[in-house]
Structure 1
Amino acid sequence: MSERVDLWNNGNLVQDVFLGEIKVPVKVLRNDSFQAWYLLQPRENGNKSSKTDDLGSLRLNICYTEDCVLPSEYYASLRNLLLKSPDVQPISASAVYILSEVCRDKYDAVLPLVRLLLHHHKLVPFIAAVAELDLKDTQEANTIFRGNSLATRCVDEMMKIVGKHYLKVTLKSVIDEICESPKPCEIDPIKLREGDNVEVNMENLRYYVDKVFREIVQSSISCPTLMCDVFYSLRHLAAKRFPNDPHVQYSAVSSFVFLRFFAVAVVSPHTFHLRPHHPDAQTSRTLTLISKAIQTLGSWGSLTKSKLSSFKETFMCEFFKTFQEEKFTESVKKFLDDVSSTESKEPSGLSEPVHLKEGEMYKRAQGRTRIGKKNFKKRWFCLTSRELTYHKQQDKEPLFTIPIKNILAVEKLDESSFNKKNMFQVLHGEKPLYIQANNCVEASEWIEALCRVTRCNQKRLSFYHPSAFLNGNWLCCKATIENTVGCARCTADVPADTQIEIDGDRETERIYSLFTINMSKLQKLEEACGSIAVYQGPRKEPDDYSNFTIEDSVATFHTLKQIIDILEKLNESHEKYQKKRSSSAKYGSEENPIVGKVS
């Protein structure tokens, strides 16, 4: 078994050029770190041969990590301690925050922590708590959320995870146009090529910037619910921290959604799976200029004269003089209002209802207790940004209207409820509306469209019943009270292709490994807390704990004691498991697989 590493050159060429490849046996990666030189080999292409010495060589530095994930019950104590973190006061005394403090690189801790908290629906309150702590140290409103703190890294990672589909539906088409039919956009006089016309290039750049900007500010209806919830929290925390600054509530959101999300995706589309490869040099330069423009346009009030004069590049200052300040500023404001509000709004820039989807499906009569074919009627459904209606026939007056703001959840319905496939339900405060689509694709499209337009409804449900209430009880949980709380957690907060598979036990194992690696720092932090708590002041050299955040020494000490006790028990469990595995499992079995090549 081996890993293949390909080497490509993208230089100033139109297409990436394959240079060579190597294969590294997995068995050599079992060390913590591995370094070696390898001769590049030709690509495997049947029986054709090539001189390997013509391809050069490649030096690899590979780190290999092996996770030994125990059964879920072993992680219960650590998992529960981590999930309590959003409720710990102060947040700096929580297990999650402590992990970020002791890890040398915060990113090592952020990825598994964000995934675990996201999996258990605890991410939004945790980000709000660490963001509030971040704001305590922010003295100027214009520097809000500009550093690489735990709060900003958590938001960055959250947007990468849940915002993939959002980027795709918003930017992919325009990025494809820029990469596949590129126009010269260089406006730096020093970098102009012979024969280039700076005025034509500026028009080309303006065309691209206008198009990207328009796609972004009209995309709020596609913004995932989780991102909206986070932006809402950040907006209100910022307004609370700087009550006399009317613009800070917008800059708190724009610093993420424009500067750290859209602008980054524009300049590195391959990183966000918007393009298969890194773009060529000329296209990369165009994307960089567009990204700079989007960052500036997205910064609240960034087109003022004082801001324009602060541009390092004179050519960028001249370029931005062509933008109408009020028009773009108002578009940004409307967009930021939409993605950070708890109320459903019309898509940016649109005052009339927008038709999102329509078509013919079957609707079950509401309130019927018996199962029967006569209960299902063919109806014409119409979804706009304001309401969902159904009609007896197309172009007829609606028989029933559900305002979008009243929809609480949209979920699939178990086939067993009515012995029918492709069914979903719209929960809106009265009797659930049960609908059967003509096929599974159509059902998914309707669910996705409804979820998008209701993503900011303030009273969204967290739980629902996956089956119907018939003959006096819910078929799913057998509860006999019709208005009882649902028995399953809502899953359709975001479109299906933005939902991710997270293995909570694997993420908890990674967190355990990080704690274990940094045990000496945990102990040093524990000693510092003990010293402060007992002597009411530092009795050790400041260097011992000056890099740690200790707001409440007693609360932090208590959490550290819990962490260390849990780690000791998990260490014992790992040792027992490894001994059992090596002594009882047959070599070559799933529990004790063969490592390396089989000759």
Structure 2
Amino acid sequence: MSERVDLWNNGNLVQDVFLGEIKVPVKVLRNDSFQAWYLLQPKENGNKSSKPDDLGSLRLNICYTEDCVLPSEYYTSLRNLLLKSSDVQPISASAAYILSEVCRDKYDAVLPLVRLLLHHHKLVPFVAAVAELDLKDTQEANTIFRGNSLATRCVDEMMKIVGKHYLKVTLKPVIDEICESPKPCEIDPIKLKEGDNVESNMDNLRYYVDKVFREIVQSSISCPTLMCDVFYSLRHLAAKRFPNDPHVQYSAVSSFVFLRFFAVAVVSPHTFHLRPHHPDAQTSRTLTLISKAIQTLGSWGSLTKSKLSSFKETFMCEFFKTFQEEKFTESVKKFLDDVSSTESKEPSGLSEPVHLKEGEMYKRAQGRTRIGKKNFKKRWFCLTSREFTYHKQQDKEPIFTIPIKNILAVEKLDESSFNKKNMFQVLHGEKPLYIQANNCVEASEWIEALCRVTRCNQKRLSFYHPSAFLNGSWLCCKATVESSVGCARCTADVPADTQIEIDGDRETERIYSLFTINRSKLQKLEEACGSIAVYQGPRKEPDDYSNFTIEDSVATFHTLQQIIDVVEKLSESHEKYQKKRSSSAKYGSEENPIVGKVS
């Protein structure tokens, strides 16, 4: 097993240039101090023209960190302290916020924090709380969420984690077309090559921009539920902060979804796993121009001034003179409305329901208490943007209709319920609708389609019963009340391949390590809270205290004491657990592996 390291030249005056790559065996990274010279190798793309000795060499100095993750019960206190952060008033006095304050690089804190909160379904309220704090310091509506604050970094990381599938279904086909069948798109007169036709290049660029823009604004139905929930919170917080600016509700969302998500993915598709490698220089330039255009179009729905005045480059201004501003502005607003609304909306804003999917499957008769083949009837199912129906036959009047807004959850059904495979359930306030698809692929497609069209329903369930209610009890949890709350957390609010595996204990251990490393800063922050100078006079040590956010010194001091106490106890647990493991586990076992070479 090895790690690949690419070396690029991304100087300001030239396009990114691939210099070479190396592969480093993972096992050597376990050495306490690893330094070595490696010859750069050509990219593994079948190109035999490059010779290894033409590429130079690269020296690596790698730091390998190994965390010891204890059993889950050891992290209960620290985990609970972090998870209740969104309920702490003010949010700056919470454990999660303090973590970001004491870490030199906020990214070190944001990654495990977002993953932990995401795993425990606590991310949305925390993002809303830190975003509200961010907005207190925002004086101009046109600069909303433009900095690298804790709020913006949390949203950025969240979009990277849950938005992978969204980017894949939205952008990958058109990005593949641009990279595999490139057309010249340079429109800067200074950078034009001999023989280039600027009008032809402008047409090519316009074709790509139109295609990318169209894919984005028609993709709202694919936007993950979590992203929609976060955008909804940001939109309403922004409108509350700037009540006299009707455009700020759009710029609050566009600053993330266009500027920090789609535009970034377009210019760096390899970073978001849309392409296997960094594109060549010409394609990279094309993607940069497309990204500039997408950022601009995304801001059109929230600009109060003339659209063309926002361009710094004359050639981009000339390019955008061909765009119909009103048409694009309305498309952007409609898209932003769709991805930041709590109500289910119809794609494309059409007045007539949009047909999404139909097909023949089996439905179990409602209210039957026994298991039997006669209880399953073949029916024709139809899903539109307004309703989910089933019919005796195709083109017949529906026997039963469920409005989309009434669907509370769509989940798989345990095979043990009726001894049948490929079953799923639609929960809608009455008795669950149990459906058997013809195969596992068809079942997944129906679940995904139903989840996407109901992702903005305000009364979505958090828990469900994975089995059926038969003979007076739920087969899954044995509860005897049919209306009892579900025993399993809902999982199908996003497509199956976007559900990520997060080890909550691993992330909590990483946060514990960060608190331990930054113990001195915790103590400085504690001293700042206890100093009368913090809230009654000038600070005596601005270098130590001025960078801390302390809104409530008493609440912050209380949380700090809790953090320090929990970290100390966890450190003791680490020492005891390591000693116990060393003394009881057999040397060379999985619990106590051999470290180093065997002589």
TM over 0.5: yes
Per the alignment, do residues 48 and 153 of structure 1 end up closer, same or farther by CA in structure 2, a change over 3 Å counting?
A: closer
Per the alignment, do residues 301 and 47 of structure 1 end up closer, same or farther by CA in structure 2, a change over 3 Å counting?
A: closer
How much has 1:595 moved relative to structure 2? Answer: 3.7
Would the aligned equivalents of 1:411 and 1:426 in 2 still touch at CA under 8 Å?
yes
How much has 1:25 moved relative to structure 2? Answer: 5.6
How much has 1:303 moved relative to structure 2? Answer: 7.0
How much has 1:13 moved relative to structure 2? Answer: 18
How much has 1:222 moved relative to structure 2? Answer: 0.6
Most deviating of 587-596 and 14-23 = 14-23
Output the CA distance in 2 between the equivalents of 1:292 and 1:186: 13
Deviation track 1:183-214 (CA, whole Å, cap 9, x = no partner) reads: 11100001111111111111111111111111
How much has 1:541 moved relative to structure 2? Answer: 2.2
Deviation track 1:512-541 (CA, whole Å, cap 9, x = no partner) reads: 000000000000000111113998445642
Per the alignment, do residues 546 and 278 of structure 1 end up closer, same or farther by CA in structure 2, a change over 3 Å counting?
A: same
How much has 1:367 moved relative to structure 2? Answer: 1.1
Partner of 2:258: 258
Would the aligned equivalents of 1:220 and 1:347 in 2 still touch at CA under 8 Å?
yes
Output the CA distance in 1 between the equivalents of 2:50 and 2:123: 53
Output the CA distance in 1 between the equivalents of 2:21 and 2:320: 45
Would the aligned equivalents of 1:533 and 1:553 in 2 still touch at CA under 8 Å?
no
How much has 1:485 moved relative to structure 2? Answer: 1.1
Would the aligned equivalents of 2:533 and 2:539 in 1 still touch at CA under 8 Å?
no
Would the aligned equivalents of 1:533 and 1:554 in 2 still touch at CA under 8 Å?
no
Output the CA distance in 2 between the equivalents of 1:44 and 1:221: 38
How much has 1:588 moved relative to structure 2? Answer: 2.4
Output the CA distance in 1 between the equivalents of 2:48 and 2:249: 63
Output the CA distance in 2 between the equivalents of 1:474 and 1:97: 42
Deviation track 1:209-256 (CA, whole Å, cap 9, x = no partner) reads: 111111111110111000000000000000000000001001000000
In structure 1, the gaps of 5 or more residues are: none
CA RMSD of aligned residues (A): 3.1
Would the aligned equivalents of 1:379 and 1:393 in 2 still touch at CA under 8 Å?
yes
Most deviating of 568-577 and 215-224 = 568-577
Per the alignment, do residues 216 and 40 of structure 1 end up closer, same or farther by CA in structure 2, a change over 3 Å counting?
A: closer
Deviation track 1:483-503 (CA, whole Å, cap 9, x = no partner) reads: 111111111111111110000
Partner of 1:88: 88
Deviation track 1:539-597 (CA, whole Å, cap 9, x = no partner) reads: 64233211100000000000000000011111111122223334443332212223456
Would the aligned equivalents of 2:69 and 2:509 in 1 still touch at CA under 8 Å?
yes
Please say if 1:364 is aligned against 2:385.
no
Would the aligned equivalents of 2:413 and 2:424 in 1 still touch at CA under 8 Å?
yes
Most deviating of 155-164 and 473-482 = 473-482
Output the CA distance in 2 between the equivalents of 1:474 and 1:312: 64
Per the alignment, do residues 46 and 199 of structure 1 end up closer, same or farther by CA in structure 2, a change over 3 Å counting?
A: closer
Q: Normalising by the residue count of structure 1, what TM-score does the alignment of the two structures yield?
A: 0.94
Per the alignment, do residues 177 and 53 of structure 1 end up closer, same or farther by CA in structure 2, a change over 3 Å counting?
A: closer
Per the alignment, do residues 183 and 23 of structure 1 end up closer, same or farther by CA in structure 2, a change over 3 Å counting?
A: closer
Identity of aligned residues (%): 96
Per the alignment, do residues 303 and 318 of structure 1 end up closer, same or farther by CA in structure 2, a change over 3 Å counting?
A: farther
Would the aligned equivalents of 2:17 and 2:281 in 1 still touch at CA under 8 Å?
no
How much has 1:36 moved relative to structure 2? Answer: 3.7
Output the CA distance in 2 between the equivalents of 1:61 and 1:371: 65
Per the alignment, do residues 18 and 581 of structure 1 end up closer, same or farther by CA in structure 2, a change over 3 Å counting?
A: farther
Deviation track 1:56-111 (CA, whole Å, cap 9, x = no partner) reads: 32111322111100000000000000000000000000000000000000000000
Most deviating of 542-551 and 185-194 = 542-551
Per the alignment, do residues 54 and 208 of structure 1 end up closer, same or farther by CA in structure 2, a change over 3 Å counting?
A: closer
Most deviating of 586-595 and 37-46 = 37-46
How much has 1:32 moved relative to structure 2? Answer: 6.8
How much has 1:449 moved relative to structure 2? Answer: 0.5
Output the CA distance in 2 between the equivalents of 1:46 and 1:220: 39
Output the CA distance in 2 between the equivalents of 1:569 and 1:216: 49
Deviation track 1:376-414 (CA, whole Å, cap 9, x = no partner) reads: 000011111111111111111111111111100000111
Q: Normalising by the residue count of structure 2, what TM-score does the alignment of the two structures yield?
A: 0.94
Would the aligned equivalents of 2:533 and 2:540 in 1 still touch at CA under 8 Å?
no
3-state DSSP of counterpart to 2:348:
coil
How much has 1:145 moved relative to structure 2? Answer: 0.4
Most deviating of 283-292 and 471-480 = 471-480
Deviation track 1:241-272 (CA, whole Å, cap 9, x = no partner) reads: 00000010010000000000000011011111
Please say if 1:135 is aligned against 2:135.
yes
3-state DSSP of counterpart to 2:381:
strand
How much has 1:310 moved relative to structure 2? Answer: 3.8
How much has 1:371 moved relative to structure 2? Answer: 1.4
3-state DSSP of counterpart to 1:182:
coil
Per the alignment, do residues 411 and 14 of structure 1 end up closer, same or farther by CA in structure 2, a change over 3 Å counting?
A: farther
3-state DSSP of counterpart to 1:44:
coil
Deviation track 1:26-46 (CA, whole Å, cap 9, x = no partner) reads: 565346775443345799999
Would the aligned equivalents of 1:303 and 1:325 in 2 still touch at CA under 8 Å?
no
Output the CA distance in 2 between the equivalents of 1:531 and 1:32: 41
3-state DSSP of counterpart to 1:451:
helix
Most deviating of 473-482 and 420-429 = 473-482
Output the CA distance in 1 between the equivalents of 2:438 and 2:426: 17
Would the aligned equivalents of 2:251 and 2:302 in 1 still touch at CA under 8 Å?
no
3-state DSSP of counterpart to 1:301:
helix
Output the CA distance in 2 between the equivalents of 1:309 and 1:6: 39
In structure 2, the gaps of 5 or more residues are: none
Would the aligned equivalents of 1:14 and 1:280 in 2 still touch at CA under 8 Å?
no
Per the alignment, do residues 364 and 52 of structure 1 end up closer, same or farther by CA in structure 2, a change over 3 Å counting?
A: closer
Output the CA distance in 1 between the equivalents of 2:6 and 2:188: 35
3-state DSSP of counterpart to 2:59:
strand
3-state DSSP of counterpart to 1:154:
helix
Per the alignment, do residues 17 and 309 of structure 1 end up closer, same or farther by CA in structure 2, a change over 3 Å counting?
A: closer
Per the alignment, do residues 532 and 377 of structure 1 end up closer, same or farther by CA in structure 2, a change over 3 Å counting?
A: farther
Would the aligned equivalents of 2:247 and 2:303 in 1 still touch at CA under 8 Å?
no
Most deviating of 249-258 and 308-317 = 308-317
How much has 1:448 moved relative to structure 2? Answer: 0.5
Per the alignment, do residues 26 and 491 of structure 1 end up closer, same or farther by CA in structure 2, a change over 3 Å counting?
A: closer
3-state DSSP of counterpart to 1:363:
strand
Most deviating of 303-312 and 80-89 = 303-312
Would the aligned equivalents of 1:4 and 1:23 in 2 still touch at CA under 8 Å?
yes
Would the aligned equivalents of 2:528 and 2:534 in 1 still touch at CA under 8 Å?
no
Would the aligned equivalents of 1:296 and 1:302 in 2 still touch at CA under 8 Å?
no
How much has 1:348 moved relative to structure 2? Answer: 2.5
Would the aligned equivalents of 1:338 and 1:348 in 2 still touch at CA under 8 Å?
no
Per the alignment, do residues 33 and 408 of structure 1 end up closer, same or farther by CA in structure 2, a change over 3 Å counting?
A: farther
Output the CA distance in 2 between the equivalents of 1:163 and 1:559: 33
Deviation track 1:396-436 (CA, whole Å, cap 9, x = no partner) reads: 11111111111000001111111111110000111110000
Deviation track 1:5-59 (CA, whole Å, cap 9, x = no partner) reads: 5668999999999987656465653467754433457999999999976663211
3-state DSSP of counterpart to 1:300:
helix
Per the alignment, do residues 597 and 320 of structure 1 end up closer, same or farther by CA in structure 2, a change over 3 Å counting?
A: farther
Most deviating of 52-61 and 381-390 = 52-61
3-state DSSP of counterpart to 1:213:
helix
Output the CA distance in 1 between the equivalents of 2:287 and 2:44: 34
3-state DSSP of counterpart to 1:299:
helix
